[in-house]
């Protein structure tokens, strides 16, 4: 049923929220202060018309906006957008009873994402390549993508052709494309079992397109150049499917905050170290012990450290920190620590950190909720927060990163 609604607030996922006698109604692509007409059903609505636009309403940057599920708030002006993302972090901290200085959002520009994951599907007469519609398996066959680096967008048709060659299933599959210093690194998962003819054609296409590497189902089909990324001036060979911060400027902002906070540390632990995003930068100013559960990522870090004699000693340890966190007595040999876990956070590890004597900690997170939980544990253990900084690297999405800096209280 079509209703006229007044939008009160902007929700955590970017939906406008209207308060009604029947409860809140979530209206995608509507903004606070707007009067809209929408088709309403079971607390969710489909926007039909904006009757009274908010001053913050902006012209979306992409023709696929509202259909493609990749972006939620392209219609929100830049200043309000930055406030909304910062407030998500403030709210998460407040819910845990944490009072801390939260800096303004460090933003990222359009056309800066160096890693994107497309969904592809081969039909009888065409190959779909794009992103899923919001809360749907329907693939939006994209013509543009204003968040991705131009080098990725320019290769879209070559990637589409590659998808058509590798598709051995009628089902959708994923293609992750990473722009590296040596070219595009393309990883295909779920495309089905390859035949020899498919393999040869895919290799020829990859070489012709100038891709650095193509991996399908975990197997490297071709590698004309080792995909390299640069962490603070140190070249690292990116393993297939290895974790990488999505936007280089966001990574640099995070690393700068971490490096400056831990500048006085002589021996730093880097937990959930990946391929060395922080460890290799920190090793310019002191010894580093990197702990990571993924063997390929740790091997890349080790190789980069060995080939960089200008760094202080870097040691490494393969360890599943979820099942076997470093104990407080193991942590006491460090005077600085950085941790950057997956979205689940580092709950058990933080219990051990809270018991340790480490002087300074930098907590990096992609989930404000689990970050707030982990910070509460550290505060109970006697640490104090000096600053929390929200960082954007998933432009126009609900996701926000953060770096929290802590010191052992006196």
Structure confidence by residue, pLDDT tens digits, 327-339? 999 999 999 999 9
What is the per-residue pLDDT across 301-355, written as a single tens digit (0 to 9) for each? 999 999 999 999 999 999 999 999 999 999 999 999 999 999 999 999 999 999 9
Nearest to 214 by CA among 235, 195, 189: 189
Q: What is the mean pLDDT of residues 156-175?
A: 95
Are 128 and 181 spatial neighbours (Cβ–Cβ below 8 Å)?
no
187 pLDDT more than 90 = yes
Mean pLDDT of 129-138: 91
Token pair for residue 317?
A: 């340890």
Average pLDDT of the chain to the nearest whole number: 96
Cβ proximity of 265 and 335 under 8 Å: yes
- Looking at per-residue confidence, does 370 or 218 come out higher? 370
Q: What percent of the chain has pLDDT over 70?
A: 100
Nearest to 14 by CA among 1, 2, 26: 26
Nearest to 266 by CA among 360, 341, 350: 360
pTM, rounded to two decimals: 0.94
The three-state secondary structure class of 218 is coil
271 and 327 Cβ atoms separated by less than 8 Å? no
Could you confirm whether 366 is annotated as catalytic?
A: yes
* Chain Cα centroid distance, residue 16: 24
How far is CA 30 from its chain centroid?
25
Mean pLDDT over 154-160 rounds to 97
The catalytic residue among 62, 68, 350, 366 is 366
| Separation of alpha carbons 230 and 255, rounded Å | 12
Residue 194 pLDDT level (bands cut at 50, 70, 90): confident
Predicted confidence at residue 141, as pLDDT, reads 96
Average pLDDT of span 357-373? 98
CA distance 77 to 107: 13
How many angstroms separate the CA atoms of 199 and 222, rounded? 9
- Burial (CB < 10 A; 0-12, 13-18, 19+), residue 339, is buried
User: Phi, psi (5° rounding) for residue 114?
Assistant: -95, -5
Strands 228-231, 234-237: pairing is antiparallel
Nearest-angstrom CA–CA distance, 52 and 9 = 15
List of E strands, 277-382: 287-292, 314-318, 336-339, 360-365
| Residue for token pair 């509507």 | 30
Give the model's pLDDT for residue 241.
Answer: 83
Contact predicate 391/89, CB 8 Å: no
Domains of the chain (ranges plus CATH)?
A: 2-57 (2.40.50.140), 82-108+247-408 (3.40.50.150), 115-228 (2.40.50.1070)
**Structure confidence at residue 286 as a pLDDT band (50, 70, 90):** very high
DSSP secondary structure letter of residue 20: E
Q: Are 245 and 394 in contact (CB under 8 A)?
A: no
Task: pLDDT band for 231, please (50, 70, 90 cuts).
Answer: very high
What is residue 410's predicted lDDT score, i.e. its pLDDT? 62
- 294 by DSSP, 3-state: which? coil
pLDDT at residue 112 above 90? Answer: yes
When pLDDT is averaged across residues 136-158 and rounded to a whole number, the result is 96
Alpha helix locations (H) across 307-367? 328-331, 347-355
Q: Indicate whether 43 pLDDT > 80.
A: no
Element (H, E) at 296: helix 295-306
Q: Where are the alpha helices (DSSP H) in 44-114?
A: 78-95
With H, G, I as helix, E, B as strand and everything else as coil, classify residue 241. Answer: coil
**Contact at 8 Å (CB) between 404 and 387?**
yes
CB 195: neighbour CB atoms within 10 A? 10
């Amino acid at each position: 049923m079509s209703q006229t609604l007044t939008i009160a607030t902007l929700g955590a996922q970017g939906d406008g929220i209207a308060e009604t006698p029947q409860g809140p109604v979530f209206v995608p692509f509507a903004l606070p202060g707007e009067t809209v007409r929408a088709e309403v059903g079971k607390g969710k609505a489909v926007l039909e018309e904006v009757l009274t636009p908010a001053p913050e309403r902006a012209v979306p940057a992409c023709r696929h906006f509202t259909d493609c599920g990749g972006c939620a708030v392209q219609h929100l002006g830049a200043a309000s957008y930055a406030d909304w993302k910062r407030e998500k972090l403030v709210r998460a901290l407040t819910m845990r009873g944490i009072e801390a200085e939260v800096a303004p959002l460090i933003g990222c520009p359009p056309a800066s994402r160096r890693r994107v994951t497309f969904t592809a599907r081969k039909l009888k007469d065409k190959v779909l390549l794009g992103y899923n519609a919001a809360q749907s398996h329907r693939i939006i066959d994209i013509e543009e993508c204003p968040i991705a680096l131009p080098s990725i967008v320019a290769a879209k048709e070559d990637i589409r052709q590659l998808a058509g060659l590798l598709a051995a299933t009628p089902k959708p599959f994923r293609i992750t494309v990473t722009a590296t210093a040596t070219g595009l690194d393309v990883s295909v998962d779920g495309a089905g079992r390859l035949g020899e003819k498919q393999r040869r054609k895919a290799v020829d296409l990859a070489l012709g397109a100038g891709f650095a590497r193509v991996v399908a189902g975990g197997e490297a089909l071709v590698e004309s150049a080792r995909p390299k990324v640069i962490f603070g001036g140190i070249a690292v060979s990116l393993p297939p499917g290895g974790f990488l911060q999505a936007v280089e400027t966001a990574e640099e902002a995070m690393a700068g905050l971490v490096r400056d906070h831990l500048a006085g540390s002589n021996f730093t632990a880097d937990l959930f170290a990946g391929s060395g995003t922080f460890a290799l930068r920190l090793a310019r100013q002191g010894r580093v012990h990197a702990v990571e559960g993924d063997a390929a990522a740790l091997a890349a870090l080790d190789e980069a450290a060995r080939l960089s004699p200008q760094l202080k000693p870097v040691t490494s340890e393969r360890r599943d920190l979820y099942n076997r966190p470093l104990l407080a007595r193991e942590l006491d040999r460090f005077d600085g620590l950085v941790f950057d876990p997956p979205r689940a956070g580092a709950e058990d590890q933080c219990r051990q950190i809270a018991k340790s004597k480490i002087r300074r900690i930098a907590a990096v997170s992609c989930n404000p909720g689990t970050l707030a939980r982990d910070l509460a544990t550290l505060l109970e253990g006697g640490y104090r927060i000096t600053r929390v900084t929200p960082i954007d690297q998933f432009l126009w999405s609900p996701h926000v990163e953060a770096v929290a800096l802590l010191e052992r209280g006196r």
